[in-house]
Amino acid sequence: MNLLHVIGNLVLVVCCWFLSLISLNWVSNGGIMTVKSGLIGGDGGQIWMKLWDQISVFGCKIQHHYSQYIGPKKLRKNWWRKLLIAWILCGIILSLSVFWYMSSLALDKRKETLASMCDERARMLQDQFNVSMNHIQAMSVIVSIFHHDKNPSAIDQTTFARYTERTSFERPLTSGVAYAVRVLHSEREQFEIQQGWTIKRMDEQTPVHEDEYDPADLETSPAHDEYAPVIFAQDTVAHVISVDVLSGKEDRDNVLRARESGKGVLTAPFRLLKTNRLGVILTFAVYKRELPPNATPAERIQETAGYLGGIFDIESLVEKLLQQLASKQTIIVNVYDTTNFSDPISMYGSNTSSDGMHHVSALNFGDPIRKHEMHCRFKQKQPWQWVAITTSVGILIISLLVGHIFHATVNRIAKVEDDYNHMMELKKRAEAADIAKSKFLATVSHEIRTPMNGVLGMLQMLMDTRLDETQQDYVRTARESGKALVSLINDVLDQAKIESGKLELEEVSFDLRAVIDDVLSMFLGKSQDKKVELAVYVSSKVPATLVGDPGRFRQIVTNLVGNSIKFTDKGHIFVTVHLVEEASEMEFERDESLSGLPVVDRRRSWSKFRSFNQESPATSSSSSDQINIMVSVEDTGQGIPTEAHSSVFNPFMQVGPSITRTHGGTGIGLSISQCLVHLMKGEIGLASSPHIGSTFTFTAVFSNINGQQQVNGSISSSEFQGMRALLVDPKKIRAKVSKYHIERLGIHVEVVPDLSLGLTNTPTVNMVFIEEEIWDCKNVGNPKMLILSNSCSSDSARSPFAITKPLRVSKLAASLQRAMGMSSGGNNLSREIHALSLRNLLHGRKILVVDDNPVNLRVAAGALKKYGADVVHAERGAKAITLLTPPHLFDACFMDIQMPEMDGFEATERIRKIELGIKNGIEDGELSVEAYGNVSNWHVPILAMTADVIQATNEACARSGMDGYVSKPFEAEQLYREVSRVFQTMSDESH
């Protein structure tokens, strides 16, 4: 028994594993698809797939059982012969079983197909018959209304024939309609005189050929109590006029049944007059007046005026119906009248022999007495079941090959297990390396960001003091340079975030023009050292305030301008901002540029953008709530070879190895910029030519604040509002840039190419701006002359005053104040913090700040005290626990994460446990709520303050019970935003 048990297990192991192996290899090599499209066909392919899936799953289970309990070492060579015989027998049984199973499936499918096709034809025939029946019944009502008791009658043969011919499309199965009037024997003679013909008897003898038929040859109807001669008939059956429909036994019985029941009555199939084709007649009684539904047969007979019959040529009509179906040739259709079940009457089709498979669909033509059926069968006999044959043969062949490859199978199993163990080990190492990488990045980020937080925080506090415009500009430039230093760190961290898919954008309102000015301030020194003109122009159609991520937008522009500064030694760098919809209006002149040097056609940089190549909603940039802007950075630098265009956005890639040695850089700035542009639902591209320059263009979608199109970029509080200025510059583009900056101060500017011409035409101006290259010292005088210079070392002795480019609104305002003898207006222009409601929110709030770094404590405390908050310091987590143990008076807590002795995570967890213990104690009655300030649910908001910007740190904050997260270096705005969110949440919960 043990030997047989082992042999049985081995047979199942080999069979199922090998079939699963063959199925996987076959599917991966496209074998299944080939068979499906070739020999097997669609249904066979599905059967194959189901069979292989079941065998594969079962085979994997048996393989696992085999690996655990038998193992390759327990196999013996003397088992092979018995094992092979047993396997062949199993293969034969399996192949025969599969053949029977698949053949039965094919047969069932064939039966279902036949039933579906037959039911479809029966339903169509029945539906069209019902349509015809309803129309004939409606005609009986029309005849009753417009013919009987009307003198003269509104209907005659011509009217009836014309009407029935025009409405024949509403009776798709009728070949003709006729009306027979009820005539009593006492009325016969007068009726025949009135009609001009005698009542004929219906010929029940052998019908004559269609061409030989003549109604005059019919015999006169013998005497009866009543007659039903046809007086009106459609032209197709006009030969039945004067024929008494009561003279035939079959017709008489149906006519009498129709008038007694008030419903439509069908005749048995019979040969129609003249056409000699098989047909039936549907008869409705026509009454003199409308009868109630419960009228007795006697009442119906008394009120009968005539009979309206519809003639159905069954053979031709069924044939027309089947011709409408594309698959009419696939099956054979027979229609039978089975009223007499033992002797059914064939109405359509031939009685040819079938292959034994047929389907019967019932037909209901509205007459409960008469029964009809449709019999269907296939024309062709069932084909050979090649799917079942090839499958069974294939299984048999596989069973014969198993013995030969068994040794290779065992070796394959062992190799797969070894590879799996090796891959699991590598996976553990990779996970450990990833954790180490995250910890390293977090540590580096914290150690660098902590002192930078103090630098930037103190600069922010300095900006809040009373400074003149020049001092504000210096502080702002230093602050933005510090941010640029942090951005160098962020580039590496951002690349790590991009690789892990954890980079996200924020949504805040910002001034795009101020962001662009700040970027230019960062590169002011480098541009002047290289004597490269740096300028910016923002279209007046761009709104003043947008909603998006200003930090990431600044990062993109900084990367692009930084690249241009790096590779440009002469000429200019020109940053332009427009709406996407303005792109079609832009013109290009190769020699008309900011510095006069040739530039590339900037339109090539966005020519491949999808928003410009297809008509979609993206093309319309300025909807009520979405703004699609386009930023271009044009330079006259070295240019990029065409073959390198495709690789410039790859991470850590530069045009050539000499670039790194000459200019430095990591090569990830453009890669990060491309990713950020995609997150902003935009696109980025370039146009470049060697020794001419490059133009990088990107688009970005922002939200429009309050859904309003605010396009006024001027400073409304400027003391220069309403002044008039004359700008003298012969270059259109340069004049356009200068005019843009001057008008932002509220000054009305008029541009002229020549100073003398301008003073002659516009005498009343407050100041004159003139380019240094066309300045003549003889022109000194009134109005005030100001030189626009590209160099900070210009000879100011030649002129009353010189303004150094690049122009920025803050620098320009400060220069005009000094030139025109105005006092400094404070720091209104630099205020970016809108504190309309923050003072009311923070005033009187007691806030605990926990940080081991005294500089960071001063920065956070200064930012909060500015708006009336009562700030308490703590340098250690243990002290924070003591201060925040209920009851206490603190409204919120800012806690650093990385601190000695006890970090912020542990401190927060302990505080939450203390709060939870007090809550449970009060609920259980162990503690008194009065001892805890009558507060039963203590929960002080704790916001994390850390220099770690890794996603794992943010998740750890949430797990430890913190309510918010502020990264270092932080700005005062970040603190205000988090505090307002927390207090707003507390306010909502209290209500």
472: domain CATH number is 1.10.287.130
**Gyration radius of the chain's alpha carbons:** 49
Strands 767-771 and 846-850, by their bridges, are: unpaired
Q: What is the pLDDT of residue 797?
A: 43
Confidence band for 906, pLDDT divided at 50, 70 and 90:
very high
Residue 731's pLDDT is: 85
Is it the case that residue 736 has pLDDT exceeding 50? yes
925 domain residue, yes or no:
yes
* pLDDT-based confidence at residue 110 (cuts at 50, 70, 90): confident
CATH number at residue 197: 3.30.450.350
| Region 891-906 average pLDDT | 88
Q: How confident is the model at residue 713 (pLDDT cuts 50, 70, 90)?
A: low
At 281, is the secondary structure helix, strand, or coil?
strand
Who contacts 667 (Cβ-Cβ below 8 Å, separation ≥6)?
651, 652, 653, 654, 660
- CA dist 230 to 256, 393, 512, Å? 16, 72, 93
- Domain final position from 337, 371, 400: 337
Residue 712 lies in a domain: no
pLDDT for res 380: 79
Q: Is the pLDDT of residue 620 over 50?
A: no
Find out whether the peptide bond into 229 is cis, omega within 30 degrees of 0: no
Q: What is the identity of the amino acid at 168?
A: S
DSSP letter for each residue of 816-827: HHHHTTPPP-TT
Strand stretches in 645-739, DSSP E:
684-689, 693-704, 724-728
pLDDT at 970: 58
pLDDT at 579: 92
**What's the CA gap between 670 and 659, in Å, rounded?**
15
447 shares a domain with 523: no
Short-list 766, 810, 812, CA closest to 789: 812
- Based on the domain organization, do 142 and 259 belong to the same domain? yes
CB atoms within 10 A of CB 791: 13
**Token pair belonging to 784:** 């005030």
C-alpha–C-alpha distance, residues 692 and 710, integer Å: 37
pLDDT digits (tens, 9 = 90+) for 280-314: 888 999 988 888 888 888 888 888 989 999 888 87
pLDDT at 65: 52
Q: Is there a single domain that holds both residue 440 and residue 458?
A: yes
Q: Which domain holds residue 178?
A: 125-337
Tokens standing for residue 398: 């596989």
403 within some domain: no
Q: Beta strands of 439-490 (E only): which ranges?
A: none
Q: Is 831 helix (H, G, I), strand (E, B) or coil?
A: coil
Rounded CA-CA distance 781/704 in Å is: 46
Query: 872 and 916 share a domain?
Result: yes
User: Which segments of 51-174 are extended strands (E)?
Assistant: none
Q: At what angle do helices 904-924 and 951-960 cross, to 10 degrees?
A: 20
Give the confidence band of 77 by pLDDT, cuts at 50, 70, 90.
low
Instruction: Indicate whether 670 and 587 sit together in one domain.
Output: yes
Quick check: 739 and 749 in contact, CB under 8 A? yes
pLDDT beyond 60 at 239: yes
Within a domain: 163:
yes
Q: Which of 136-140, 705-709, 747-751, 783-787 has the lowest mean pLDDT?
A: 705-709
Q: What is the pLDDT of residues 466-481, one digit of tens each?
A: 888 888 888 888 887 8
Q: What is the pLDDT of residue 274?
A: 66
Q: Are residues 681 and 536 in the same domain?
A: yes
Q: E-strand spans in 380-485?
A: none
**Angle (nearest 5°) at CA 868 between 898 and 479:** 55
- Name beta bridge partners: 304: 287
Q: What is the CATH number of the domain that holds 698?
A: 3.30.565.10
Which residues lie below 8 Å from residue 896, measured CB to CB, with a gap of 6+?
Answer: 850, 851, 852, 853, 856, 904, 944, 945, 946
* 451 upstream amide cis, omega within 30 of 0: no
| The domain boundary residue, chosen from 337, 366, 388 | 337
- Of 596, 602, 598, 559, residue with least CA distance to 577: 602
Could you tell me the CATH number of the domain that includes residue 936? Answer: 3.40.50.2300
Q: Rounded to the nearest 5 degrees, what angle is found at the Cα of 905, between the Cα atoms of 902 and 911?
A: 85
Task: Kindly indicate the confidence band of residue 53, based on its pLDDT and cuts at 50, 70 and 90.
Answer: low
Provide the 8-state DSSP code for 902.
S
- Could you tell me the pLDDT band of residue 72, with boundaries at 50, 70 and 90? very low
Q: Are 599 and 636 in contact (CB under 8 A)?
A: yes
Average pLDDT, the chain: 77
Residue 803 and residue 917 in one domain: no
Separation CA 280–CA 250 (nearest Å): 11
Q: What is the pLDDT of residue 630?
A: 94
Q: Is the pLDDT of residue 551 over 60?
A: yes
How far is Cα 623 from Cα 616, in angstroms, rounded to an integer? 13
Lowest-confidence pick of 54-58, 262-266, 344-348, 373-377? 54-58
Q: How many residues does the chain have?
A: 991
How large is the average pLDDT for residues 586-610?
A: 79
| pLDDT class of 591 with cuts at 50, 70, 90 | low
- Cα–Cα dist 232/928, whole Å: 106
**Which of residues 772, 798, 823 is at a domain's end?**
823
Looking at residue 633, its pLDDT comes to: 94
Same structural domain for residues 180 and 285? yes
C-alpha 213: how far from its chain's center? 72
Closest Cα partner for 832 from 453, 479, 450, 534? 479
Largest CA distance in the chain: 141
Do 252 and 328 belong to one domain? Answer: yes
Could you report the per-residue pLDDT of 748-768, keeping only the tens digit for each?
888 888 877 666 666 678 888
714 pLDDT above the threshold of 80? no
Same structural domain for residues 179 and 223? yes
Cα–Cα distance list, 197 to 242, 252, 307, 665 (Å):
7, 21, 19, 115
Report the number of distinct structural domains present in the chain: 5
* Residue pair 726/759 in contact by the 8 Å Cβ criterion: yes
pLDDT of the residue at 717: 47
Same domain for 819 and 836, yes or no, is no
Predicted structure pTM score:
0.48
17-21, 165-169, 501-505, 788-792: which has the minimum mean pLDDT?
17-21
pLDDT at 203: 67
pLDDT digits (tens, 9 = 90+) for 929-944: 888 888 888 889 998 8
Clarify whether residues 681 and 735 are in a common domain.
Answer: no
Q: Look at residue 695 and tell me if it is in a domain.
A: yes
Q: At what angle do helices 314-323 and 80-146 cross, to 10 degrees?
A: 130
Over residues 336-342, the mean pLDDT reads: 86
One-letter amino acid identity for 858? R
Amino acid at 147: H
Instruction: Please state the rounded mean pLDDT for residues 790-799.
Output: 52
Confidence at residue 636, expressed as pLDDT on a 0 to 100 scale: 92
Across-strand partners of 376?
333, 359
More confident residue, 636 or 350: 636
Q: Which long-range contacts (CB under 8 A, 24 or more apart) does 609-616 make?
A: 609/683, 609/685, 609/699, 610/683, 611/580, 611/683, 611/699, 612/583
Average pLDDT score over residue span 519-543: 88
Whether residue 768 lies inside any domain: the answer is yes
182-191, long-range: CB < 8 A, 24+ apart: 182/226, 182/227, 182/228, 182/304, 182/305, 182/306, 182/307, 183/226, 183/227, 183/228, 183/229, 184/225, 184/226, 184/227, 185/223, 185/224, 185/225, 185/226, 185/227, 188/227, 191/229
pLDDT at position 237 over 60: yes
> Is the predicted pLDDT of residue 75 greater than 60, yes or no?
no
Strands (E), 622-674: 626-635
Residues near 39 by beta carbon (within 8 Å), at least 6 away in sequence = 386, 390
Confidence category of residue 379, pLDDT binned at 50, 70, 90: confident
With CA atoms as reference, report the closest residue to 769 among 791, 795, 748. Answer: 748
pLDDT at 212: 56
Mean pLDDT of 104-128: 88
Examine residue 35 and state whether it is found in any structural domain, yes or no.
no
Which range has the worst mean pLDDT, 48-57, 560-569, 778-787? 48-57
The C-alpha atoms of residue 670 and residue 606 are separated, in whole angstroms, by 16
Quick one: three-class SS letters along 436-448? HHHHHHHHHHHHH
Is residue 17 a part of any domain in this protein? no
